[in-house]
A = this chain, B = another copy of it.
């Protein structure tokens, strides 16, 4: 390994003390313009850069945010990741990325983040095992559940207002004249799918319509298969409310393969407003999740908890908006 240029090397070269070098790179420290100049010149010449690891060790705080993601196959999440990365970068924070297959985050998934002493963690589209919950509490690491909440209410979560959204969606379909409606759910036990189902059911009940529910898994293939099944077995309803866009695209494709006219014979509405929903082939009516605002809420909570840990928990719900396109 290459010998690192350290603050000591720069100090010698500049004829100042190592502390002075440190002060030049530490925001808020006071150094005279003259010293700063000498240090920066020496640093440039030697190719010095402050070692972030040493910094983190001595200050006992890192500028790393852990992001744990499951559904990276769903185009919604790369967008989210992009937003987070960009926003945190502007605040001087880096992203440690963890991919997991677990619906319920396990201790093993996050161990490494704790070992690196991350400043905060964001978990998207997954819940937490008891083990993991304990660790977050024990080590007082700020956590935000993004687009998912957990039953215990022990952590801060940021979601779209799913209940309100699905009520509006239901009313929208009813107003369009639908009375025979199928809800295609996402993975069981996910708060998003449950809430969307709940709001939807409530609004339908108000209109004296019984909900038909079919379970699926938040994937394109899941939506595709379920729609085929509906076509073959149940007959086509007036409309489908599909718990996320990527499934809705599967539903659309299956309906088309059976030459079912949309929106004439049946209507389809999704959730998320992923990029593909706006493609002319799909032109999917959907609910836009306000990613920007959700990201901002998450970031500002984390920043304040990093500043001073309180463990404060809340479920934040951000309003979205219906995007009407050609499938309704």
Q: Chain A residues in contact with chain B, CB under 8 A?
A: 1-2, 4, 47, 49-54, 56-57, 60-62, 64, 67, 72-73, 75, 77-79, 81-82, 85-86, 89, 94-99, 111-112, 114-117, 138-140, 220, 224, 249-250, 252-254, 256-257, 275-276, 279-281, 309
Interface contact B99-A279, CB-CB below 8 Å? no
Contact pick for A51, options B52, B57, B112, B250, CB 8 Å: B57
State whether A253 touches B275 (Cβ < 8 A).
Answer: no
Verify A81–B85 contact, CB threshold 8 A: no
Q: Is the CB of A95 within 8 A of B96?
A: yes
* A47 with B116: CB separation less than 8 A: no
Please measure, in the bound complex, the distance between the C-alpha atom of A61 and the C-alpha atom of B53, giving whole angstroms.
10
Pick from B78, B89, B309: contact of A72, CB under 8 Å: B78
B97 touches A60 (CB 8 A): no
CB-defined contacts of A275 to chain B, threshold 8 Å: 73, 220
Number of copies: 2
Report the separation of the CA atoms of residues A86 and B57 in the bound assembly, to the nearest whole angstrom.
27
Chain B residues whose CB sits within 8 angstroms of the CB of A78 once the complex forms:
72-73, 75, 77-78
Given A49-B111, A52-B117, A281:B256 Cβ within 8 A: yes
Q: Considering residues A4, A78, A81, A95, which has the most beta carbons from chain B within 10 angstroms of its beta carbon?
A: A78
Q: Across the interface, do B50 and A115 meet the contact criterion of CB distance under 8 Å?
A: yes
Query: In the complex, what's the smallest C-beta–C-beta distance from A66 to chain B, in angstroms?
Result: 9
Are A139 and B53 within 8 A (Cβ)? no
Residues of the B chain whose Cβ atoms lie less than 8 Å from the Cβ of A224: 280
How far does the Cβ of A296 sit from chain B's closest Cβ, in whole Å? 17
Residue pair A281, B281 in contact (C-beta under 8 Å):
yes
Task: Name the B residues within 8 Å of A95 (CB-CB).
Answer: 96-98
Assembled-state Cα–Cα distance A254/B279 (Å): 10
19 additional A-B residue pairs with CB within 8 Å, beyond A51-B117, A54-B57: A1-B61, A1-B309, A2-B139, A47-B138, A49-B111, A49-B115, A51-B115, A52-B112, A52-B115, A67-B97, A72-B78, A72-B81, A73-B79, A73-B82, A75-B75, A81-B97, A81-B99, A94-B96, A95-B98
